[in-house]
Chain A
Amino acid sequence: MNSLATYLIVSALLFSLGLIGILLRRNLIGMLIAVELLLNSANLNFMAFNRFLTPDPVVGQIIALFVMGLAAAEAAIGLSIILAFYRKMHSINIERAQRLKG
Chain B
Amino acid sequence: MRMETSSLNIIMQATFWGTVALTIAGASIAVFPRNILYNVLGLALALTSIAGLYNFLGSFFIALMQLLIYVGAICIAIVFAIMLSRPLHLETPPRATPKVAMGVAASAVFFVAAVSVVLKTDWLPSPARVADASLWSVENIGHALLTRYELVFEVISLVLLVAIIGAVITAGFSRRLSS
Tell me the A residues contacting B by CB distance below 8 Å: 1, 4-5, 7-10, 12-21, 23-27, 29-30, 32-34, 36-37, 40, 43-44, 47-48, 50-59, 61-62, 64-66, 68-77, 79-84, 86-88, 91-93, 95
Contacts and interface: CB of A to CB of B under 8 A. Distances in A.
B108 interface: yes
Contacts of A73: 159-160, 162-163
Given A93-B93, A95-B93, A71 B129 contact: no
A102 to B, nearest CB: 20
Contact of B110 (A16, A57, A83, A86): A16
A34 B99 CA distance: 17
A55 B91 CA distance: 53
Interface in B51-78: 53-54, 56-59, 61-62, 65-66, 69-70, 73-74, 77-78
B contact patch SS: helix
B124 A1 contact: no
A95 B47 CA distance: 28
A8 B74 contact: no
B148 to A, nearest CB: 8
Nearest to B103: A23
A10 B56 CA distance: 14
15 contacts: A18-B27, A21-B30, A44-B53, A55-B130, A57-B135, A72-B69, A73-B160, A73-B162, A80-B166, A81-B170, A82-B85, A83-B170, A83-B174, A84-B171, A92-B90
Contact of B129 (A24, A54, A76, A88): A54
Nearest to A39: B70
Interface in B68-125: 69-70, 73-74, 77-78, 80-82, 84-85, 87, 90-91, 93, 95, 99-100, 102-104, 106-108, 110-111, 114-115, 118-119, 123-125
